[in-house]
Structure 1
Amino acid sequence: MKDLIKGFGGQMKEAVSIGESASFSAPEHEIHNVLLIGLGGSAFGGEIIRNYAASQCTVPFGIVRDYKVPGYVSEHTLLIVSSYSGNTEETLSMLASAMPHNPKVVCVSSGGQILEMARKNGYDHIELPGGYPPRTAAGYSIIQQLFILKNFGLIGAFEQDLAEAISLVEHFDDHDDAHLIAEQMFNKIPVLYSSPDFESVSIRWRQQIQENAKHIAFHHVMPEMNHNELVGWKNPAGLLEDSVVVVLRSDLDNERTAIRMDICRDIFSEYADAVVEVNASGKSHLGQLFYFLHLGDWVSYYLAELNEEDPMPVKVIDLLKGELAKHA
């Protein structure tokens, strides 16, 4: 896992080459919405893109993690099918449920049944390098989606922002901070907060902490949590004392949201063991998203070391899949 995290910048560069070489057929109908279907690490890339493209994507962008697609899917939908393995049960089911509605389909996968279906049905597809745990292949997934959206005229140029993001990852040197954050999480329950523009990386931190460190974690966003979850910061007092709050902050956050974070910091401090504020590096939104992503991956790795856990296997997920197979 350490080598995979360390090599993430190289993966991003390879992903750019793959995206630049990708070709797409013209849609038969005007695109009115984009829907990404996928689960786990394969769906996460869509969260980054939804955050980054929110201010410029000319149509709604949705993500579904289920067995069926929503009723609005039509011939005017750009359907991005994201499954690193190509064999994700739920994603295959969603694709099958979408096919009668004749959306414009683009598949992103390293192989499996997804690529077989793409070739059989003449869908556009991008084949990724295989052999990675899906959660470590996020760079491939995220960057392909940028190229897909740009190709269909839904976002503008992103190359400069992406170049900054690659540089931030390749020159990452905040290991002391990552160690310190992991140490503060050790034997505690991490509760992660961010603004909506950075919710994708809160999700990433939560998922990586859970999968790599085998450590429960939770996340929410401000200002939404100010209207509900904030009231819960009182009981059960004993559990709250064993929590550590991590607030991911950016100079791009809405000014009012930043004030809310300042006020909530004092509230959390009354109940949590610690409140840790983490500030983004980088100038562009995409650069900051990738900085947070990479920092969080290192935090999860160092927390796995503290927990004396191997970050690679996910045995309980393998167990679940084995039990599900008995009910096929």
Structure 2
Amino acid sequence: MRSRLERYQEFLEQEYHAGFTKFDEYDISGISSDLLKRLKNGHFTRVVFSGMGCSAIVSDVIKVFFDAIRSELEVYVFNDYDFEYLVPRAVIEDERTLIILSSYSGYSNEPVHAFHALRPLHDRVLLLTSGGRLGELGEEHGVSIARWTLSKPDREYPLFHVGQYFSILMDMFLQLGLLDKDYGPEVRALAEHLRSDFTPELRALAADAAARSENANVIMLGSPKWHESLLKLAKMHFNEIAMVPATRNFFHEFCHSEVATLTDPERRHSVLVFADPEEDDYTRAKRRNLVALLTAPIPQNAKVTVTEIELDQPTFLRQYFTALEFVQYLTLDLGRARETKSRNLISEAAGNPWYHGSTIAAEKEGS
């Protein structure tokens, strides 16, 4: 199998932009007529997503997008199956709440546990999967299924395809009546917009930030708008592809606590600040103050670097996916600097052999 960094580079250069145009690689024929009727009649006012890893992150992107467009549809996301501690009971028990259990492989254990825990609510549960055990359970119990049918999936690293997942869900939600406006043209236009939005200057900034992040603790800061979606996904890229530690925090919270760790650090720290043009005057002034404090030419700052990424593109989607492209190229450069060989820790720690390199290799040999 080719190395993850080789596949990652090929994905960035050939597939990232194109993925936004592959919006039709899904199948909703497995949704029951009763659930489909309620969906299209506007019965549901809330959607609760449950999933792990990349199967959950696209749900976070959907949530922040719906917030950005001021959609009346409420979206909640929880990354576990012990949902009583993560989502208000009233939300789960509300008959107008649609519950989507998401697992691309269908073999993640947590969505399967959630499936059983939510058995009394199966008439308003939708499974989002490519098959696996979750798909089998759906068929066995007559629970509605929407299937991913990606034509060129990277089996080991589905986080490559978040842009395509988002494009698919925008089309799927329109077809199901969960959106009252077609955002498909705007999403598909990202394939061209990103070619100009991700400028040579941003590419150079990513390379510079990667060089300054070698052997450093990567700290990402942003407003709530970006923390739960962009920074969460960025952390996954740093962890899974570059295989480096990274943390994320709300900008204001960081300034009230964690910033103390940068007083006079013994190891290197690389601070990535994602700056939103919609920030209020107080936040902008506070950000300028923090950057000045951490970049002042004093001995205590010798092992601290700061990179500001301006999210100044004209729309939320162009901001989000341009920033993601910046993160991905930074990740590629940082991963090349380390060349850490995967131990398949995610598959083994999660108890999901479907993603394991040996499983994939064995299936290829047998095909």
Task: Return the alpha-carbon distance in structure 2 between the equivalents of residues 37 and 104 of structure 1.
Answer: 14
Task: Return the alpha-carbon distance in structure 2 between the equivalents of residues 104 and 2 of structure 1.
Answer: 40
> Among residues 82, 86, 92, which one is paired with 1:73 in the alignment?
92
State the shift of 1:266 in Å.
2.2
Task: Return the alpha-carbon distance in structure 1 between the equivalents of residues 149 and 352 of structure 2.
Answer: 29
Shift of the 110–212 alpha-carbon distance from structure 1 to 2, 3 Å rule, reads same
The answer on whether the counterparts of 2:242 and 2:332 sit within 8 Å (CA) in structure 1 is: yes
Task: Return the alpha-carbon distance in structure 2 between the equivalents of residues 53 and 205 of structure 1.
Answer: 20
Task: Return the alpha-carbon distance in structure 1 between the equivalents of residues 143 and 272 of structure 2.
Answer: 46
Show structure 2 runs of 5+ residues with no match.
1-7, 354-367
> Among residues 214, 217, 221, which one is paired with 1:193 in the alignment?
221
State the shift of 1:193 in Å.
0.8
Task: Return the alpha-carbon distance in structure 2 between the equivalents of residues 169 and 220 of structure 1.
Answer: 27
Task: Return the alpha-carbon distance in structure 2 between the equivalents of residues 103 and 257 of structure 1.
Answer: 45
In the alignment, which residue of structure 1 is the partner of 2:25?
18
Of the structure 1 ranges 79-88 and 250-259, higher mean CA displacement relative to structure 2 is found in 250-259
The answer on whether the counterparts of 1:48 and 1:289 sit within 8 Å (CA) in structure 2 is: no
In the alignment, which residue of structure 1 is the partner of 2:186?
161
Q: Does 1:89 align with 2:109?
A: yes
Task: Return the alpha-carbon distance in structure 2 between the equivalents of residues 299 and 183 of structure 1.
Answer: 9
State the shift of 1:284 in Å.
0.9
Show structure 1 runs of 5+ residues with no match.
none
Q: Does 1:180 align with 2:230?
A: no
Q: Does 1:44 align with 2:57?
A: yes
Of the structure 1 ranges 146-155 and 32-41, higher mean CA displacement relative to structure 2 is found in 146-155
Task: Return the alpha-carbon distance in structure 1 between the equivalents of residues 326 and 99 of structure 2.
Answer: 31
State the shift of 1:158 in Å.
1.8
The answer on whether the counterparts of 1:83 and 1:109 sit within 8 Å (CA) in structure 2 is: yes
In the alignment, which residue of structure 2 is the partner of 1:127?
148
Equivalent residue of 1:78, what SS?
strand
In the alignment, which residue of structure 1 is the partner of 2:271?
245
Task: Return the alpha-carbon distance in structure 2 between the equivalents of residues 277 and 124 of structure 1.
Answer: 42
Task: Return the alpha-carbon distance in structure 2 between the equivalents of residues 76 and 236 of structure 1.
Answer: 47
The answer on whether the counterparts of 2:108 and 2:352 sit within 8 Å (CA) in structure 1 is: no
In the alignment, which residue of structure 2 is the partner of 1:63?
77
> Number of residues paired by the alignment?
318
Shift of the 73–240 alpha-carbon distance from structure 1 to 2, 3 Å rule, reads farther
Q: Percent identity?
A: 16
Shift of the 177–276 alpha-carbon distance from structure 1 to 2, 3 Å rule, reads same
Equivalent residue of 1:234, what SS?
helix
Tell me the TM-score normalized by structure 1: 0.85
AA partner of residue 52 (structure 1): F
Shift of the 195–64 alpha-carbon distance from structure 1 to 2, 3 Å rule, reads same
Q: Does 1:280 align with 2:311?
A: yes
Task: Return the alpha-carbon distance in structure 2 between the equivalents of residues 106 and 122 of structure 1.
Answer: 7
What are the superposed Cα offsets for residues 237-269 of structure 1, whole Å, 9 maximum, x if unpaired? 454752111111232334443333222222333
State the shift of 1:17 in Å.
2.4
State the shift of 1:212 in Å.
0.9
State the shift of 1:87 in Å.
0.8
Of the structure 1 ranges 201-210 and 157-166, higher mean CA displacement relative to structure 2 is found in 157-166
Task: Return the alpha-carbon distance in structure 2 between the equivalents of residues 252 and 127 of structure 1.
Answer: 35
State the shift of 1:148 in Å.
4.1
In the alignment, which residue of structure 1 is the partner of 2:357?
none
Task: Return the alpha-carbon distance in structure 2 between the equivalents of residues 80 and 86 of structure 1.
Answer: 13
In the alignment, which residue of structure 2 is the partner of 1:232?
258
Task: Return the alpha-carbon distance in structure 1 between the equivalents of residues 49 and 343 of structure 2.
Answer: 24
What are the superposed Cα offsets for residues 33-86 of structure 1, whole Å, 9 maximum, x if unpaired? 211111111111111111111142213211111123333313321122221111
In the alignment, which residue of structure 2 is the partner of 1:111?
131
State the shift of 1:113 in Å.
1.8
In the alignment, which residue of structure 1 is the partner of 2:235?
206
Shift of the 231–127 alpha-carbon distance from structure 1 to 2, 3 Å rule, reads closer
Task: Return the alpha-carbon distance in structure 2 between the equivalents of residues 252 and 166 of structure 1.
Answer: 25
Of the structure 1 ranges 170-179 and 86-95, higher mean CA displacement relative to structure 2 is found in 170-179
Task: Return the alpha-carbon distance in structure 2 between the equivalents of residues 32 and 63 of structure 1.
Answer: 15
Tell me the TM-score normalized by structure 2: 0.77
The answer on whether the counterparts of 2:104 and 2:148 sit within 8 Å (CA) in structure 1 is: no
In the alignment, which residue of structure 1 is the partner of 2:332?
301
Task: Return the alpha-carbon distance in structure 1 between the equivalents of residues 182 and 279 of structure 2.
Answer: 22
Shift of the 159–319 alpha-carbon distance from structure 1 to 2, 3 Å rule, reads closer
AA partner of residue 58 (structure 1): E
